Amino acid sequence: MQLSPEVVRLCEEVRRFVEKEVDPRARWIEEHDAIPDELVRMAREMGLFGITIPEQYGGIGLDLAGKCAIEEVMGRTSYAFATFLGNHTGIGTAGIVALGTEAQKKKYLPRMASGEWLGCFALTEPQAGSDPAAMRATAVRKGDRYLLNGEKTFITNGGVAQVFTVMAITDRSKGIKGISAFILERGFPGFAIGRNEHKMGMHGVTTVPLAFNNCEIPAENLLGPEGMGYVQALKTLTMGRVTIAARCCGMMDRLIERCVEYMKTRVQGGKKIAEHQGLQWMLADMGVARDAARLLTWRAVETMLGGERGTLEASAAKLFATEALAKVADCAVQIYGGMGYMREAGIETAYRDARITRIYEGSSEIQRNIIAAQLLKDA
């Protein structure tokens, strides 16, 4: 797909930033489970918090192709930093951009574009993960406000976000058509943010539970019409799946490059390990998996930019790219041998980070369900 010269230039700038500033701090992010302030400041100066926010609200206004091109570059470095930014510029802001009133956009988007306010997306509940329609959180209108009760779990960036897009039931009798979306701010009365979870990977990104106890939301913070929350959440997730696939492609690029470097320098049995056919074949399979993932990702981008929903294409891209990344990361550990198992090489970090991509924003099983349902519908 042909990218505009502006997107190509921005990608080059982001790539320099990744290599000069993010990569040298990747180990620090992993070990301190935090994002360094100076990286946030530099990303703010570059406008990276506003890449998907329209220009009239202070952003850069990239479309899905631009967003995915940046995700590919970000995938080359700390997965935590890529997620911290990518979640905000993706599912953390998409609802307000798509459904916000002019007043909501003016209030929230400029500060989200500048990075002053971080956004996040809260759909999952303890008993409603793969089946978000089983949610229990309710929002009842009382005069000029809604009272929100319930809980959410595993919310990416929730520990540091200021703005939360939260889905809750406003009319139980209507099933999924009775689910609405709201914009919440940190500090609304009755809104509590729980402690950061200890995770297998993605260290540096906060993942928290949220609790609402008669949380008061001004009625003007309803996002879109009542009953549109579920449909909008699914649209947001469809977009999010393609961007995760793009990030996985970037991760695979970097892992393959590192393996090539290692294979050409590591000597065993008197020859470079690159000369062993067994490893060459492993590398070939890694390259083919990465290329196929990239083709599926950009097919999904083109389909969606062409005006179609792209449900099947987005799920196929996420399913294939995340499973390919698992294989590539596993092979990378193998090619590095004992060093692959050591923290200092950074390969095992990618192996652990990669694991989440097959679970969040719809597990691999859920992507297969979606793809099968679409194929059966079209038959």
Ligand X SMILES: Cc1cc2nc3c(=O)[nH]c(=O)nc-3n(C[C@H](O)[C@H](O)[C@H](O)COP(=O)(O)OP(=O)(O)OC[C@H]3O[C@@H](n4cnc5c(N)ncnc54)[C@H](O)[C@@H]3O)c2cc1C
Site for ligand X in 127-186 (CB under 6 A): 129-130, 154-156
Nearest residue to 251 via CA among 75, 68, 82: 75
Closer by beta carbon to ligand X, 108 or else 360? 360
Nearest residue to 52 via CA among 3, 92, 102: 92
Q: Does residue 365 interact with ligand X by CB under 6 A?
A: yes
Q: Which secondary-structure segment (H or E) carries 169?
A: strand 163-169
The DSSP letter of residue 133 is G
Min dist CB 124 to ligand X, Å, is: 3
Q: Does residue 360 interact with ligand X by CB under 6 A?
A: yes
Closer by beta carbon to ligand X, 125 or else 348? 125
Site for ligand X in 112-131 (CB under 6 A): 120-124, 129-130
Q: Does residue 366 interact with ligand X by CB under 6 A?
A: yes
Amino acid at 376: L
Q: Does residue 356 interact with ligand X by CB under 6 A?
A: yes
- The helices-and-strands tally (H runs, E runs) of the chain is 12, 10
- Main-chain phi, psi angles of 128, to 5 degrees: -140, 85
**Region binding ligand X by CB under 6 A among candidate stretches 172-180, 317-325, 339-347, 356-364:** 356-364
Min dist CB 131 to ligand X, Å, is: 6
**Region binding ligand X by CB under 6 A among candidate stretches 30-38, 246-254, 280-288, 355-363:** 355-363
Q: What is the DSSP string of 288-301?
A: HHHHHHHHHHHHHH
Distances (CA, A) of 84 to 75, 147, 159: 12, 29, 11
Tokens of 128: 């409603």
**Region binding ligand X by CB under 6 A among candidate stretches 65-73, 274-282, 301-309, 363-371:** 363-371
Owner of token pair 């949380």: 215
Among 114, 162, 196, 363, binds ligand X (CB under 6 A): 363
Active-site annotation holds for 116: no
Closer by beta carbon to ligand X, 121 or else 230? 121
Handedness of CA 304, 310, 315, 316 (dihedral sign): negative
Min dist CB 162 to ligand X, Å, is: 15
Among 11, 140, 359, 371, binds ligand X (CB under 6 A): 359
β-pair partners for 209 = none
Query: What whole-number distance in Å separates Cα of residue 109 and Cα of residue 20?
Result: 29
Number of residue whose CB is nearest ligand X:
129
Closer by beta carbon to ligand X, 245 or else 366? 366
Owner of token pair 């309710």: 138
Min dist CB 341 to ligand X, Å, is: 23
Per DSSP, the three-state class of 343 is helix
From its phi and psi, is residue 283 left (phi > 0), alpha (psi between -120 and 50) or beta?
A: alpha
Closer by beta carbon to ligand X, 117 or else 360? 360
Q: Does residue 367 interact with ligand X by CB under 6 A?
A: no
Size of the site for ligand X (CB under 6 A): 22
Query: What whole-number distance in Å separates Cα of residue 233 and Cα of residue 91?
Result: 9
Among 199, 203, 247, 318, binds ligand X (CB under 6 A): 199
Tokens of 349: 């970090």
Among 253, 313, 348, 361, binds ligand X (CB under 6 A): 361
Nearest residue to 299 via CA among 287, 288, 289, 311: 311
Nearest residue to 165 via CA among 121, 132, 207, 110: 121
Min dist CB 153 to ligand X, Å, is: 7
Closer by beta carbon to ligand X, 160 or else 256? 160
Closer by beta carbon to ligand X, 18 or else 237? 237
- Residues designated catalytic: 361
Interface contacts to ligand X, rule CB under 6 A = 120-124, 129-130, 154-156, 199, 202, 207, 356, 359-363, 365-366, 369
